[in-house]
Structure 1
């Protein structure tokens, strides 16, 4: 069986969480306090991820699709497991839809969507056929480069003399309300609650008992990176432009201008997005494939790669006609359905698991006596 190291798990977790967040301003509704909303969402979301990790520790060696039948029984647990596979399938198509909406409107205008997504999906299919070890090694090579480019962008932004500190003031100028609306429920679930998908991957690490620290560290790094770029976007554009722009973090690269020489670095922003979106879609589909393999008791998961890839590609091409519709469906899916799938059901599962562990522990003690 394929195995990945703890370092590779950290790299994949951070790449997955950054995903399409590196382009969109998901906290823009909080205005100039968007960076604070992101940090608060990250803090609460880390507690949610810690709950997922506790569930994994309570059921060692079991993946997400095996948790529910083990605790709820096959009649109830198996349909719930299938529900998550369908949810992850939809999420992967939605992330792929981000690529469909951004690329034609930026660097490849006029290029048909099916061409862009088709080429993108070919690379994903190749990675899926190669296996999780190859995906992890690729992440280990690419993510450090992306982080270095992030640092370079920050330095260039300060060198462009477009930053105005007063644009972040006053903090909580409109009160706690707008911030909390961003935090709950969408802020907690976007990329944070969605990390539940990694419950299909955690058992593949070389030391599953050591995954808590790198997972939570990656989550904290994600929160710091995203909140930093949101704060920089507000400092560069002001609250009005940041809140109304479709791709505020992508536009941030465009304001770089040093000595009329370093400017028009659009490709840098696209590079971030393509790389992190690639890992997020690949890992989402990988989780679906592995889950269906376990549910159907298949010996080889590769027979599922092409059918699942075709379904994801079809959904990405047809689920929305424009960026506004795409964003609306994304936010809607994170509201009620996301709250149930990422918060309520796992919380119920944790309660049931703890109760059953307690009962089994008492029975074992009685049998020893």
Structure 2
């Protein structure tokens, strides 16, 4: 069985959570208080991840698809496990939809969508064939580059003399209403709740008892990075442009201009966008493939790589016909996502605690 280290888990978690968030302004509904909204999402989202980690500790050695049959029984648990795999497959298709919408409208206009997604999926399929260990080693090489690019972008923005601190004022000028609107329900579901998908790889960590610290550390770091970029976008564009722009964090790269020399760095934004999106889709599909393998009792998961890759390729092409339709579907699925990310895991925790309590009582009685 393949294994990954604690440091590799940290890097995979961070790059998975960054995903496509580095381009889209998911907290733009909060206007100039977007950075504050993101920090609140980080606190609530981290608490949600703690819930997932507690479920993992209550069921050691079991993956996500094994949690449900273990606690709810075969008749309820197995269908739930299948529904989660379908949901993860849909999420992967939605991430591909992000790529389909951004790249043709930025650096590759006129390029057919099927070509862009096809090339992307070929690379992902190769990574899935190679296994989680190769994917983890790739993250060790690429994540430091992405973080350096983040730091470089921040330095260049401050060097471009386009920052206006007045754009952040007044803080809470319109109260907590619009901030909460950005937080609930969509805000906490941007990568924080999706971390549940990584429960498919937690059992592959060499020392599974130590996964709590790197997972929470990666989540907090991701939240602060996203809050920093939201703050930079507001400082640069002001509330009006930031709130109405489809890709505000991508536009940050375009406005960089240092001494009329460093300009038009669009490729910089696309570079880390494609890199983080690659890892997110790869991990989502790895979880689906491993889950289906366990549910079907297959010996080799590689037989599932091509059919599942083809399904998500078709989903990526057809999941939306335009950027506005894509955004509309994301916003309208917010409350539906609460069922998968919060309600069912919370019910699972209650059942697991009850079963554990009765199990301990049975052990004590048998000992007497």
**Shared fold (TM-score, shorter chain, > 0.5):** yes
Aligned counterpart, 1:44: 44
Distance in 2 (alpha carbons) for counterparts of 1:25 and 1:187: 10
Matches within 5 A, 1:193-272: 193-272=193-272
Please report the RMSD computed on the Cα atoms of aligned residues, expressed in angstroms: 0.5
Deviation, 1:193, is 0.5
Matches within 5 A, 1:69-148: 69-148=69-148
Query: Do structure 1's residue 322 and structure 2's residue 289 form an aligned pair?
Result: no
Aligned counterpart, 1:190: 190
Deviation, 1:62, is 0.2
Distance in 2 (alpha carbons) for counterparts of 1:57 and 1:51: 10
Aligned counterpart, 2:351: 352
Give a deviation string over 1:309-368, Cα, whole Å, max 9, x none.
Answer: 0000001101111100011112222x2221000000000000000010000001101111
Q: Residue 20 of structure 1 aligns to a residue in which SS?
A: coil
Distance in 1 (alpha carbons) for counterparts of 2:353 and 2:149: 44
Distance in 2 (alpha carbons) for counterparts of 1:41 and 1:319: 27
TM-score by length of 2: 0.99
Aligned counterpart, 2:180: 180
TM-score by length of 1: 0.99
**What is the number of equivalent residue pairs in this alignment?**
368
Deviation, 1:97, is 0.7
Distance in 2 (alpha carbons) for counterparts of 1:152 and 1:228: 13
Distance in 2 (alpha carbons) for counterparts of 1:88 and 1:153: 32
Aligned counterpart, 2:339: 340
Distance in 2 (alpha carbons) for counterparts of 1:299 and 1:357: 31
**Structure 2 unmatched ranges of 5 or more:** none
Deviation, 1:185, is 1.1
Aligned counterpart, 2:151: 151
Distance in 2 (alpha carbons) for counterparts of 1:271 and 1:173: 36
Query: Do structure 1's residue 308 and structure 2's residue 308 form an aligned pair?
Result: yes
Distance in 1 (alpha carbons) for counterparts of 2:341 and 2:16: 16
Q: Residue 257 of structure 1 aligns to a residue in which SS?
A: coil
